[in-house]
Structure 1
Amino acid sequence: MTSTIPPDESAARAEALVPRFKFERLLNLDQAGRRISLLGNIDSEPGILLLERAAFPTDANHLSTLPTSLVDIKNLGANDIYSWFLASSPPTPSTPNLKLNLIYPCTPAHIKKYTSQSLRIVLETPSIYKTYMQPYMSQKREAGALNWIFNILEGRTEQEQVIYRAPNPDKDEGFLLLPDLNWDRKTMGSLHLLGLVERRDLWSLRDLRKEHVGWVKHMRDMLLEATVKLYPELERDQLKLYVHYQPTYYHFHIHIVHVNLESGSTQATGKALGLENIISQLETIQGGPEAGMADVSLSYHLGEASELWEKIYLPLKEGRSVEL
């Protein structure tokens, strides 16, 4: 079963939303000022608009006219052979210079996520995971937080976003690929895909055990094969795979990115764990087939406005009881 709204009509509806966005306040300015997060509303419902500088076009025609198209050039300084300036490049319909993401209608959790906030490093021990994190994950899943993922997997929504689906997969080997929201879908050096597995017994990397090593390696190979098939200009050793912990949603998925992609906060220590390192850790962990990532301590960062910090780690730090 697929969406009843034709892709062209769905795109037109989405494009009509942006001009109706009414600004309320600035949430964040990050990536060295290249991305801005705005809170506003559309028809009285809250929304978040993310604006990011788009990649430069690289075709020869555009580059040959780029220097002469610059306006408002102002010199900021000079030293020997070096000079630096500020300038403006007028946009043209064929070379848009902004990439937009719209979250509408958004929830308070979205607002917290995209609001500038201080970070804290936390240590999630096996005991904290089993006592607090597992029940927290279960609450989120039971509340329907993953319905949108299941709708994609089952072919009900967003099928126009699916760029690859594993053909005739064996048991537990099904997966699909989607472009990450932050990729412009054309600049290979910033390629970023999401590999969603179809099996539902794995919520996060915490569910991976020694007995899953063969499966993880097989998924790695299939994801790499599918990516280079989609983009023949790429080779396997130009791609890196990682998993987030904590993930944004509790359904196991793997990120596939070009090695040249700048390592922002989503690839930083405290957020991303390389898939090869996870495989190695599973292979060398002490114990039988049931031993796994649930048995180790994991360190990661959290925003002070996040639910996990407010509900779990701040109470634990202050010696208070945790109420989920």
Structure 2
Amino acid sequence: MASTTPPEVASRVESYIPRFVLTRLLNQDQAGRRISLLGTIDSQPAVLLAERAAFATDHAHLSAFPTSLTRIRNLGANDIYSWFLANSGATKANPDNDIPPDFKLNLIYPCTEKHIKKYSAQPLRVVTETPEIYAAYTRPWIVRQREKGTLQWIFNIIEGRTEQEDVIYRESGDEGFLLLPDLNWDRKTLTSLHLLGLVVRRDIWSVRDLTKDKTEWLRHMRDKLLDATVKLYPDIEKDQLKLYIHYQPTYHHFHIHVIHVALESGATQAVGKALGLEHIISQLETMAGGPEAGFHNVSLTYGLGEASELWEKVFGVLKQGGQVKIADF
């Protein structure tokens, strides 16, 4: 970006940065991508805010990006998913220095068309899924997604084949669950902590399958997930944690996200995407009806990308007054 600052002013202020002498770190936010530093320049106090610049998006730079990375260190691998820490190419000139990694990488290989659509830029829509739409179209679509075998990586964890060294807490039995780091967390920055609670049972696919008779189970899980988190990370207190559930979830096997309250809200915490666990428990407790009353009886409003299957095959079709073809799921 071209500067509009007069050259003599630009030269003067640019000279300030190398003269900045650090006093202390004031803050670290955006999951560690931005820092606020207190220091001095020529004995006068100064605050320096540093944020990672945007990626160059031209083809030449993007093509060179993977080969420019150094010190690639795997954090875990499960089925088609693996995740890493790495250093940028700028560290090649100092290979012996102990420089912290400046990239967190997630790799999906081989990926599916669904992955490509999920991570592509696309217009967004807000839809309202009534109980009737859920029963007639969304649930059959979910059944089809599960039949495609996309949950194998979840079952690998639950059945003890992968990532067992990462399990923070486990309860066995039909109503058991386990807690482990989410693959999007660097496992180091506490203010961006992100853990995942996975249930063992396979008959609960999403919030839609929660009924009043599961309230005590949800409350028990909430308490145990909080206890296990603060036990492992004693610098965090329970009231610094948020627990929520996605709808629609990325994968249809019931799970609970546990994050630090300081983790800045993005698309995954947006209204209509993230449902607070406390709110879910309260709503179930006050819901009219018997033990079988639940979220399958309510309308849920959430966002969808226009490239998602649910928009292309269900909600987009319904908007145009067309007939949803379940056989195409």
What is the TM-score with the length of structure 1 in the denominator? 0.71
Q: Secondary structure at the match of 2:153?
A: helix
Distance 1:85 1:231 in 2: 27
Q: Secondary structure at the match of 1:100?
A: strand
The aligned counterpart of 1:112 is 117
Counterpart residue type for residue 99 of structure 1: K
Q: How far off is 1:140 after superposition? A: 1.4
- Among candidates 230, 233, 249, match of residue 235 of structure 2: 233
Distance 1:311 1:225 in 2: 42
Distance 1:126 1:100 in 2: 38
Cα distance change on mapping 1:82 and 1:127 into 2, 3 Å: same
Q: Secondary structure at the match of 2:105?
A: strand
Distance 2:147 2:198 in 1: 19
Trace 1:245-324 onto structure 2 (pairs within 5 A): 245-323=247-325, 324=329
Distance 1:100 1:142 in 2: 29
1:210–1:282 contact (8 Å) kept in structure 2: yes
4+ residue segments displaced more than 6 Å: 81-89
Distance 1:294 1:54 in 2: 35
Q: How far off is 1:272 after superposition? A: 0.3
Q: How far off is 1:194 after superposition? A: 0.7
Counterpart residue type for residue 123 of structure 2: S
- Among candidates 216, 219, 243, match of residue 217 of structure 1: 219
Distance 2:34 2:299 in 1: 44
The aligned counterpart of 2:63 is none
Cα distance change on mapping 1:67 and 1:163 into 2, 3 Å: farther
1:54–1:96 contact (8 Å) kept in structure 2: no
Q: CA offsets per residue over residues 215-242 of structure 1, 9 Å max, x none? A: 1101100111111111111111110100
Distance 2:163 2:118 in 1: 23
Q: CA offsets per residue over residues 104-137 of structure 1, 9 Å max, x none? A: 1111111110110110000000000000111111
Distance 1:263 1:143 in 2: 31
* CA RMSD after TM alignment: 2.8
Trace 1:122-271 onto structure 2 (pairs within 5 A): 122-160=127-165, 162-167=166-171, 169-172=172-175, 174-271=176-273
Distance 2:48 2:274 in 1: 38
**Greater Rg over alpha carbons, structure:** 2
Q: How far off is 1:93 after superposition? A: 4.3
Counterpart residue type for residue 211 of structure 2: R
Q: Secondary structure at the match of 1:247?
A: coil
The aligned counterpart of 2:105 is 100
Distance 1:98 1:137 in 2: 34
Q: How far off is 1:289 after superposition? A: 0.7
Q: How far off is 1:84 after superposition? A: 8.5
2:34–2:50 contact (8 Å) kept in structure 1: no
The aligned counterpart of 1:55 is 32
The aligned counterpart of 1:23 is none
Q: CA offsets per residue over residues 25-80 of structure 1, 9 Å max, x none? A: xxxxxxxxxxxxxxxxxxxxxxxxxxxx972699xxxx89x999xxxxxxxxxxxx
What is the TM-score with the length of structure 2 in the denominator? 0.70
Distance 1:257 1:109 in 2: 26
1:55–1:97 contact (8 Å) kept in structure 2: no
2:31–2:189 contact (8 Å) kept in structure 1: no
Cα distance change on mapping 1:126 and 1:56 into 2, 3 Å: closer
Q: Aligned residues, how many?
A: 252
2:31–2:192 contact (8 Å) kept in structure 1: no
Q: How far off is 1:139 after superposition? A: 1.1
Q: How far off is 1:82 after superposition? A: 9.2
Identity %: 62
Q: How far off is 1:281 after superposition? A: 0.8
1:54–1:97 contact (8 Å) kept in structure 2: no
Structure 1 portions without partners, runs of 5+ = 1-52, 69-80
1:54–1:98 contact (8 Å) kept in structure 2: no
Q: Secondary structure at the match of 1:149?
A: helix
